[in-house]
Structure 1
Amino acid sequence: MFKHILFVCIGNICRSPSAEVMMRDALAGRGIEVTSAGLGALVNHGIDATAQELLVERGLDGSAHRARQVTPQILSAADLVLVMEKKHLKRIMEIAPEASGKSFLLGKWNEDCEIPDPYRQQRPAFEHVYRLMAEGVESWKRYV
Protein backbone atom coordinates (compact mmCIF):
# COMPACT_ATOMS: atom_id res chain seq x y z
CA MET A 1 0.00 0.00 0.00
CA PHE A 2 1.34 3.39 -0.98
CA LYS A 3 1.07 6.11 1.64
CA HIS A 4 3.34 8.69 0.01
CA ILE A 5 3.82 9.32 -3.72
CA LEU A 6 6.59 11.65 -4.87
CA PHE A 7 6.76 13.20 -8.35
CA VAL A 8 10.18 14.28 -9.64
CA CYS A 9 11.23 16.38 -12.63
CA ILE A 10 14.02 18.93 -13.06
CA GLY A 11 12.93 22.39 -11.88
CA ASN A 12 9.85 21.36 -9.86
CA ILE A 13 7.82 24.21 -11.35
CA CYS A 14 6.05 22.65 -14.38
CA ARG A 15 5.65 18.89 -14.66
CA SER A 16 6.06 17.46 -11.17
CA PRO A 17 3.87 20.01 -9.35
CA SER A 18 1.17 19.66 -12.03
CA ALA A 19 1.25 15.87 -11.76
CA GLU A 20 1.23 16.19 -7.97
CA VAL A 21 -1.96 18.27 -8.04
CA MET A 22 -3.56 15.95 -10.60
CA MET A 23 -2.75 12.79 -8.62
CA ARG A 24 -3.83 14.35 -5.32
CA ASP A 25 -7.19 15.12 -6.93
CA ALA A 26 -7.45 11.63 -8.47
CA LEU A 27 -6.77 9.97 -5.10
CA ALA A 28 -8.79 12.35 -2.92
CA GLY A 29 -10.13 10.74 0.22
CA ARG A 30 -7.75 7.78 0.12
CA GLY A 31 -5.28 9.07 2.70
CA ILE A 32 -2.32 9.11 0.33
CA GLU A 33 0.18 11.96 0.60
CA VAL A 34 1.31 13.30 -2.79
CA THR A 35 4.34 15.61 -3.06
CA SER A 36 6.95 16.68 -5.60
CA ALA A 37 10.57 17.79 -5.84
CA GLY A 38 13.14 18.65 -8.50
CA LEU A 39 16.54 17.31 -9.47
CA GLY A 40 17.67 20.89 -10.17
CA ALA A 41 14.85 22.70 -8.43
CA LEU A 42 14.20 26.39 -8.71
CA VAL A 43 13.85 26.39 -4.93
CA ASN A 44 10.92 28.37 -3.52
CA HIS A 45 9.60 29.33 -6.96
CA GLY A 46 5.89 28.88 -7.53
CA ILE A 47 4.35 26.76 -10.24
CA ASP A 48 4.84 28.01 -13.81
CA ALA A 49 2.03 30.38 -14.87
CA THR A 50 1.02 28.32 -17.92
CA ALA A 51 1.02 25.09 -15.91
CA GLN A 52 -1.19 26.76 -13.28
CA GLU A 53 -3.49 28.12 -15.98
CA LEU A 54 -4.08 24.61 -17.35
CA LEU A 55 -4.79 23.25 -13.87
CA VAL A 56 -7.27 26.04 -13.10
CA GLU A 57 -9.09 25.41 -16.39
CA ARG A 58 -9.70 21.88 -15.12
CA GLY A 59 -10.84 22.92 -11.66
CA LEU A 60 -7.47 22.28 -9.98
CA ASP A 61 -5.06 24.64 -8.24
CA GLY A 62 -1.28 24.54 -7.81
CA SER A 63 -0.88 28.10 -6.53
CA ALA A 64 0.33 27.00 -3.07
CA HIS A 65 3.27 25.07 -4.57
CA ARG A 66 6.86 26.06 -3.79
CA ALA A 67 9.67 24.22 -5.56
CA ARG A 68 12.07 22.13 -3.50
CA GLN A 69 15.25 20.21 -4.22
CA VAL A 70 15.08 16.43 -4.06
CA THR A 71 17.27 14.87 -1.37
CA PRO A 72 18.03 11.31 -0.30
CA GLN A 73 15.73 11.91 2.69
CA ILE A 74 12.82 13.01 0.51
CA LEU A 75 13.32 9.96 -1.72
CA SER A 76 13.53 7.69 1.30
CA ALA A 77 10.24 9.00 2.72
CA ALA A 78 8.31 8.14 -0.46
CA ASP A 79 6.75 4.75 -1.12
CA LEU A 80 6.52 5.42 -4.87
CA VAL A 81 8.60 7.85 -6.95
CA LEU A 82 7.23 8.83 -10.36
CA VAL A 83 9.46 10.66 -12.82
CA MET A 84 9.01 12.18 -16.26
CA GLU A 85 12.05 10.92 -18.18
CA LYS A 86 14.40 7.93 -18.11
CA LYS A 87 17.34 10.19 -17.32
CA HIS A 88 15.54 11.17 -14.10
CA LEU A 89 15.57 7.50 -13.04
CA LYS A 90 19.31 7.38 -13.65
CA ARG A 91 19.86 10.51 -11.57
CA ILE A 92 17.76 9.15 -8.69
CA MET A 93 19.90 6.01 -8.69
CA GLU A 94 22.98 8.22 -8.29
CA ILE A 95 21.43 10.25 -5.45
CA ALA A 96 19.80 7.38 -3.56
CA PRO A 97 20.42 3.90 -5.01
CA GLU A 98 18.02 2.41 -2.46
CA ALA A 99 15.16 4.35 -4.12
CA SER A 100 15.68 2.77 -7.54
CA GLY A 101 13.32 -0.14 -6.84
CA LYS A 102 10.40 2.18 -6.14
CA SER A 103 11.08 4.70 -8.92
CA PHE A 104 9.24 4.52 -12.24
CA LEU A 105 8.21 6.62 -15.20
CA LEU A 106 4.84 8.31 -14.85
CA GLY A 107 4.26 6.93 -18.37
CA LYS A 108 5.23 3.36 -17.40
CA TRP A 109 1.81 1.89 -18.17
CA ASN A 110 1.64 3.91 -21.41
CA GLU A 111 4.48 2.14 -23.23
CA ASP A 112 7.14 3.78 -21.02
CA CYS A 113 6.14 7.17 -22.38
CA GLU A 114 8.54 9.96 -21.44
CA ILE A 115 7.06 13.37 -20.72
CA PRO A 116 9.13 16.22 -22.21
CA ASP A 117 9.92 19.43 -20.37
CA PRO A 118 7.69 22.33 -21.53
CA TYR A 119 9.67 24.96 -19.59
CA ARG A 120 9.99 28.24 -21.53
CA GLN A 121 7.87 26.90 -24.37
CA GLN A 122 4.52 28.04 -25.71
CA ARG A 123 1.15 26.89 -24.40
CA PRO A 124 0.72 24.06 -26.97
CA ALA A 125 3.79 22.33 -25.47
CA PHE A 126 2.23 22.60 -22.00
CA GLU A 127 -1.09 21.26 -23.31
CA HIS A 128 0.69 18.25 -24.85
CA VAL A 129 2.58 17.58 -21.61
CA TYR A 130 -0.60 17.99 -19.55
CA ARG A 131 -2.35 15.33 -21.68
CA LEU A 132 0.56 12.92 -21.21
CA MET A 133 0.58 13.50 -17.45
CA ALA A 134 -3.20 13.05 -17.23
CA GLU A 135 -2.87 9.71 -19.04
CA GLY A 136 -0.05 8.72 -16.68
CA VAL A 137 -2.00 9.67 -13.56
CA GLU A 138 -5.04 7.77 -14.81
CA SER A 139 -2.96 4.68 -15.61
CA TRP A 140 -1.33 4.63 -12.15
CA LYS A 141 -4.61 5.06 -10.23
CA ARG A 142 -5.43 1.36 -10.36
CA TYR A 143 -2.07 0.43 -8.84
CA VAL A 144 -2.11 2.76 -5.83
Structure 2
Amino acid sequence: MHKLLTVCLGNYCRSPFAALALTCRGGTEVSVRSAGLIGKWQDQPANPSMVNAARRLGHDLTGHRGQQITLHMLDWADTVLAMDTAVLGTLQAICGEANAVKLRLYLGDRDVSDPIGKDDAAFNDCAVLIEAGTALHISP
Protein backbone atom coordinates (compact mmCIF):
# COMPACT_ATOMS: atom_id res chain seq x y z
CA MET A 1 0.00 0.00 0.00
CA HIS A 2 1.34 3.41 -1.00
CA LYS A 3 1.09 6.12 1.69
CA LEU A 4 0.44 9.67 0.49
CA LEU A 5 0.40 12.86 2.54
CA THR A 6 -1.11 16.01 1.03
CA VAL A 7 -0.05 19.34 2.54
CA CYS A 8 -1.26 22.92 2.14
CA LEU A 9 -1.01 25.98 4.36
CA GLY A 10 -3.87 25.35 6.77
CA ASN A 11 -5.39 21.92 5.99
CA TYR A 12 -8.63 23.78 5.41
CA CYS A 13 -9.26 23.60 1.64
CA ARG A 14 -6.84 22.09 -0.82
CA SER A 15 -5.06 19.27 1.02
CA PRO A 16 -8.22 17.85 2.63
CA PHE A 17 -9.95 17.64 -0.72
CA ALA A 18 -6.84 16.23 -2.40
CA ALA A 19 -6.64 13.49 0.25
CA LEU A 20 -10.30 12.64 -0.27
CA ALA A 21 -10.02 12.61 -4.08
CA LEU A 22 -6.88 10.44 -3.96
CA THR A 23 -8.56 8.03 -1.54
CA CYS A 24 -11.61 7.75 -3.77
CA ARG A 25 -9.47 7.10 -6.84
CA GLY A 26 -7.00 4.75 -5.18
CA GLY A 27 -9.31 2.74 -2.95
CA THR A 28 -7.53 0.05 -0.96
CA GLU A 29 -4.28 0.54 -2.90
CA VAL A 30 -3.47 3.77 -1.03
CA SER A 31 -3.58 5.26 2.41
CA VAL A 32 -3.91 9.04 2.31
CA ARG A 33 -3.67 11.70 5.01
CA SER A 34 -3.63 15.48 4.88
CA ALA A 35 -2.10 18.22 6.99
CA GLY A 36 -1.35 21.93 7.06
CA LEU A 37 1.77 23.88 7.85
CA ILE A 38 -0.08 25.98 10.41
CA GLY A 39 -2.49 24.91 13.11
CA LYS A 40 -5.02 27.72 12.69
CA TRP A 41 -7.78 25.26 11.72
CA GLN A 42 -6.68 22.41 14.01
CA ASP A 43 -9.66 20.10 14.68
CA GLN A 44 -11.92 22.34 12.55
CA PRO A 45 -14.02 21.20 9.58
CA ALA A 46 -13.02 22.02 6.03
CA ASN A 47 -13.93 25.36 4.50
CA PRO A 48 -17.69 25.34 3.68
CA SER A 49 -17.05 26.46 0.09
CA MET A 50 -14.67 23.51 -0.42
CA VAL A 51 -17.19 21.15 1.18
CA ASN A 52 -19.74 22.39 -1.37
CA ALA A 53 -17.27 22.10 -4.26
CA ALA A 54 -16.48 18.53 -3.18
CA ARG A 55 -20.18 17.71 -3.00
CA ARG A 56 -20.66 18.96 -6.58
CA LEU A 57 -18.05 16.40 -7.64
CA GLY A 58 -19.72 13.61 -5.68
CA HIS A 59 -17.45 13.63 -2.63
CA ASP A 60 -18.30 14.08 1.06
CA LEU A 61 -15.72 16.25 2.86
CA THR A 62 -17.86 16.85 5.95
CA GLY A 63 -15.91 14.40 8.11
CA HIS A 64 -12.61 16.26 7.73
CA ARG A 65 -10.94 17.86 10.74
CA GLY A 66 -7.83 19.97 10.28
CA GLN A 67 -4.44 18.99 11.59
CA GLN A 68 -1.01 20.53 11.61
CA ILE A 69 1.85 18.58 10.08
CA THR A 70 4.22 16.67 12.32
CA LEU A 71 7.53 14.96 11.70
CA HIS A 72 5.76 11.67 12.43
CA MET A 73 3.44 12.30 9.47
CA LEU A 74 6.42 12.99 7.21
CA ASP A 75 8.09 9.79 8.38
CA TRP A 76 4.87 7.83 7.77
CA ALA A 77 4.41 8.93 4.16
CA ASP A 78 5.99 7.36 1.09
CA THR A 79 5.19 10.52 -0.90
CA VAL A 80 4.46 14.03 0.38
CA LEU A 81 2.46 16.19 -2.04
CA ALA A 82 2.68 19.95 -1.52
CA MET A 83 -0.13 21.98 -3.01
CA ASP A 84 2.13 24.89 -4.03
CA THR A 85 5.78 25.93 -4.25
CA ALA A 86 5.64 27.98 -1.03
CA VAL A 87 4.43 24.94 0.91
CA LEU A 88 7.05 22.79 -0.81
CA GLY A 89 9.79 25.23 0.20
CA THR A 90 8.71 25.18 3.83
CA LEU A 91 8.54 21.39 3.82
CA GLN A 92 12.05 21.22 2.36
CA ALA A 93 13.29 23.44 5.18
CA ILE A 94 11.72 21.40 7.99
CA CYS A 95 11.67 17.79 6.87
CA GLY A 96 15.30 16.72 6.96
CA GLU A 97 17.31 14.77 4.42
CA ALA A 98 15.59 11.42 4.95
CA ASN A 99 12.21 12.85 4.00
CA ALA A 100 13.36 15.35 1.36
CA VAL A 101 13.31 12.70 -1.38
CA LYS A 102 9.58 12.18 -0.74
CA LEU A 103 8.57 15.78 -1.51
CA ARG A 104 6.75 16.73 -4.71
CA LEU A 105 4.33 19.32 -6.01
CA TYR A 106 0.83 17.88 -6.31
CA LEU A 107 0.53 18.94 -9.94
CA GLY A 108 4.13 18.12 -10.79
CA ASP A 109 5.18 21.42 -12.31
CA ARG A 110 2.63 23.98 -11.13
CA ASP A 111 0.76 25.20 -8.10
CA VAL A 112 -2.78 24.54 -6.98
CA SER A 113 -3.75 28.12 -6.13
CA ASP A 114 -5.29 28.74 -2.73
CA PRO A 115 -8.98 29.69 -3.15
CA ILE A 116 -9.28 31.31 0.31
CA GLY A 117 -10.88 34.73 0.05
CA LYS A 118 -12.27 34.04 -3.42
CA ASP A 119 -15.74 33.21 -4.68
CA ASP A 120 -17.37 29.79 -5.00
CA ALA A 121 -16.28 29.52 -8.63
CA ALA A 122 -12.63 29.61 -7.49
CA PHE A 123 -13.30 26.76 -5.06
CA ASN A 124 -15.06 24.77 -7.77
CA ASP A 125 -12.17 25.33 -10.20
CA CYS A 126 -9.68 24.35 -7.51
CA ALA A 127 -11.57 21.12 -6.74
CA VAL A 128 -11.79 20.17 -10.42
CA LEU A 129 -8.06 20.76 -10.82
CA ILE A 130 -7.24 18.71 -7.72
CA GLU A 131 -9.47 15.84 -8.82
CA ALA A 132 -7.86 15.80 -12.27
CA GLY A 133 -4.46 15.77 -10.57
CA THR A 134 -5.18 12.44 -8.91
CA ALA A 135 -4.24 10.78 -12.22
CA LEU A 136 -0.64 11.91 -11.67
CA HIS A 137 -0.40 9.79 -8.53
CA ILE A 138 -2.77 6.87 -8.96
CA SER A 139 -3.23 4.76 -12.08
CA PRO A 140 -6.80 3.90 -13.10
Q: How many residues are aligned here?
A: 138
Identity among equivalent pairs (%):
28
Aligned residue for 1:27, secondary structure, equals helix
- Determine if the alignment matches structure 1 residue 81 to structure 2 residue 89: no
Q: How does 1:133-144 map to 2 (within 5 A)?
A: 133-142=130-139
C-alpha RMSD of the superposition: 1.5
**Matching residue of 2:46:** 47
Aligned residue for 2:91, secondary structure, equals helix
What stretches of structure 1 move > 2 A for 4+ residues in a row? none
**Matching residue of 2:94:** 95
- Determine if the alignment matches structure 1 residue 106 to structure 2 residue 106: yes
Shift of 1:100: 1.5
Determine which structure has greater relative contact order: mean sequence separation of CA pairs < 8 Å that are 6+ residues apart, divided by chain length. 2
* TM value normalised by structure 2: 0.92
Out of 74-83 and 51-60, give the one that drifted further. 51-60
Shift of 1:3: 2.5
Distance between the aligned counterparts of 2:33 and 2:64, measured in 1?
Answer: 10
* TM value normalised by structure 1: 0.89
Structure 2 unmatched runs, 5+: none
Structure 1 unmatched runs, 5+: none
Cα deviation digits, residues 45-83 of structure 1 (max 9, x gap): 101111111111222111111100001111111111111
**Matching residue of 2:32:** 34
